[in-house]
Amino acid sequence: MLIATTPVPPAGWNSFDCYMGSINEEQAKANLEVFVQKLKPAGYEYFCLDAAWYADGDQEWNEELRKVGQNRKMHLDSFGRFIPSPVNFPHGLRSLADACHENGVKFGVHIMRGMPRLALERNTPIKGTSLRARDIYDPDNFCSWCRYWVATDAAKPGTFEYYKSVAEYLTEELTVDFIKLDDVVEHPDHVALFAKALDSVVRPVLLSLSPGAQDIWRGSWKQYVPYANMIRVTPDAWDYDSTNFLKLQRWYEFEELSGPELWADLDMLPLGALQVTIPQNKPTEHGAARQSRLSPIGKKVMMTIFAMSCSPLIFGGDLPQTPEEDFALATHPGVLECNRNGVVGKRVSLMRHIDVRKAPSRTEAEHGWLGIFNLNEDPRHVKLPPELLGFDRIPPLRDVWGDFDVPVGPDGILELYLPARDCAFLKY
């Protein structure tokens, strides 16, 4: 299988948090230029366009119109596969992919489980078969939140061939290196078919799975392991400090299963300029154009979580409008060192809402990282003996964020002051 494991979590940029479904060629290339300058030197590799790269014009944020996809002209080829909008991408996506590859960056796009509604309406032929779109349609497993895609039946002849034709188009014509496959919750049969389709292409592809508006069904996790590189384990996670506690919980729930075979993805990093095309007088449920609403503490806690959980690092903000301090967080050497260690941290204790996680070094047996999270709504002065930190004796510690040595008391106990909903990120 060409879907290979990655020894460290993937890192890159995705257009959804800043442009949602409306990015165009000019905006994409402006982001690529900054990506190469700011993120690529820190090891970020993937540049991904999210939904609606095949639709003309700006996104009309009327929820009902968005669901049925009637408000924008969409483009597909004679085999029922979406192709780039000639309005938003007058030079096609191959031009953008080439620009990525010339700069040593890998290119990706978002697609959905199933096929375009337009393919069903036109009953387009399935490449390499005598079958047509209506022969593989499944009316019972539609996506509730994106009605311009419809479901296919994984058991019907022709569905695999359709997925194979999509994989061939994306990898051969658009030369993608990364595919984000959405709306996969409780559909491992479709993921298996799509992964099998990728076996037939000549270009290695990283496959990322997303649940869409639903939550990950935990019981299905292991079924996806052979087929993908990363799988999102949260709903859409926006720039609210409170989402850090959801991320902490999901990290704990999936800590045993995440690793090189399949990285648990805590969603994008909502840093920088978000929802930049959404006017202030017409906000979505998550607001309008803004800089990230995360507090300084919220940003630090989030990056600590991403570092120690080994979540993929996918930057979500519009890069030309992102402040330097947010780039500094996303490229912090201590964060990257821990994240790229590739060993998922695990909880060693939880007492009085102080959550202690530990991530051993992959290469140095006596070293690693501690994350000590205050889940309380008020500050806490904590005293932590070795056993609550997973040690027989507490080794020398250094604060990752502050870059200073952290003293351990003569009694061998670590004392810390933690503001409300803050954390300590320590290297031992």
Which tens digits make up the pLDDT trace of 146-181? 889 999 999 999 999 999 999 999 999 999 999 999
Whether the per-residue pLDDT at 374 is higher than 70: the answer is yes
Share of the chain above pLDDT 70, in %: 94
Question: Which whole number is the average pLDDT over 127-155?
Answer: 94
Which tens digits make up the pLDDT trace of 18-43? 999 889 999 999 999 999 999 999 99
Q: Which residue has the higher pLDDT, 223 or 312?
A: 312
- Per-residue three-class SS string for the chain: CCCCCCCCCCEEEECHHHHCCCCCHHHHHHHHHHHHHHHHHHCCCEEEECCCCCECCCCCCCHHHHHHCCCCCECECCCCCECCCCCCCCCHHHHHHHHHHHCCCEEEEEEECCEEHHHHHHCCECCCCCCEHHHCECCCCCCCCCCCEECECCCCCCHHHHHHHHHHHHHHHCCCCEEEEECCCCCHHHHHHHHHHHCCCCCCCEEEEECCCCCCCHHHHHHHCCCCCEEECCCCCCCCCCHHHHHHHHHHHHCCCCECCEEEECCCECCCEECCCCCCCCCECCECCEECCCCHHHHHHHHHHHHHHCCCEEECCEHHHCCHHHHHHHCCHHHHHHHCCCCCCEEEEEECCEEEEEEECCCCCCCEEEEEEECCCCCEEEEECHHHHCCCCCCCEEECCCCEEECCCCCCCEEEEECCCCEEEEEC
Task: Report the CATH number of the 11-339 domain.
Answer: 3.20.20.70
Share of the chain above pLDDT 90, in %: 81
Band of residue 65 on the pLDDT scale cut at 50, 70, 90: very low
Domain 346-427 CATH superfamily: Golgi alpha-mannosidase II (2.60.40.1180)
| pLDDT for the residue numbered 423 | 98
Whether the per-residue pLDDT at 67 is higher than 80: the answer is no
Give residues with Cβ within 8 angstroms of 242, minimum separation 6: none
Q: Which residue has the higher pLDDT, 366 or 219?
A: 366
CA distance to 28, 187, 314, 317, per residue, from 34 (Å)? 10, 37, 15, 12
Whether the per-residue pLDDT at 2 is higher than 60: the answer is no
Whether the per-residue pLDDT at 212 is higher than 80: the answer is no
Question: Which whole number is the average pLDDT over 103-119?
Answer: 97
Q: Which residue has the higher pLDDT, 186 or 10?
A: 10
| pLDDT for the residue numbered 71 | 58
Whether the per-residue pLDDT at 61 is higher than 80: the answer is no
- Calpha distance 319→423 (Å, rounded): 27
| pLDDT for the residue numbered 130 | 98
Q: Where in the chain is the domain with CATH 3.20.20.70?
A: 11-339
Which tens digits make up the pLDDT trace of 269-294? 999 999 999 999 988 888 999 999 99
Which tens digits make up the pLDDT trace of 229-265? 999 999 899 999 999 999 999 999 999 878 888 999 9
Residue with tokens 């944020």: 61
Q: Which of 212-226, 228-242, 269-283, 301-315 has the lowest mean pLDDT?
A: 212-226
Whether the per-residue pLDDT at 302 is higher than 50: the answer is yes
Band of residue 72 on the pLDDT scale cut at 50, 70, 90: confident
| pLDDT for the residue numbered 256 | 85
Give residues with Cβ within 8 angstroms of 286, minimum separation 6: 236, 238, 275
Whether the per-residue pLDDT at 375 is higher than 80: the answer is yes
Which tens digits make up the pLDDT trace of 81-94? 999 999 999 999 99
Question: Which whole number is the average pLDDT over 366-373?
Answer: 97
Question: Which whole number is the average pLDDT over 126-152?
Answer: 94
Q: Where in the chain is the domain with CATH 2.60.40.1180?
A: 346-427
| pLDDT for the residue numbered 348 | 98
Whether the per-residue pLDDT at 59 is higher than 80: the answer is no
- Calpha distance 243→294 (Å, rounded): 10
Band of residue 426 on the pLDDT scale cut at 50, 70, 90: very high
Whether the per-residue pLDDT at 218 is higher than 70: the answer is no
Structure tokens at 370: 């501690």
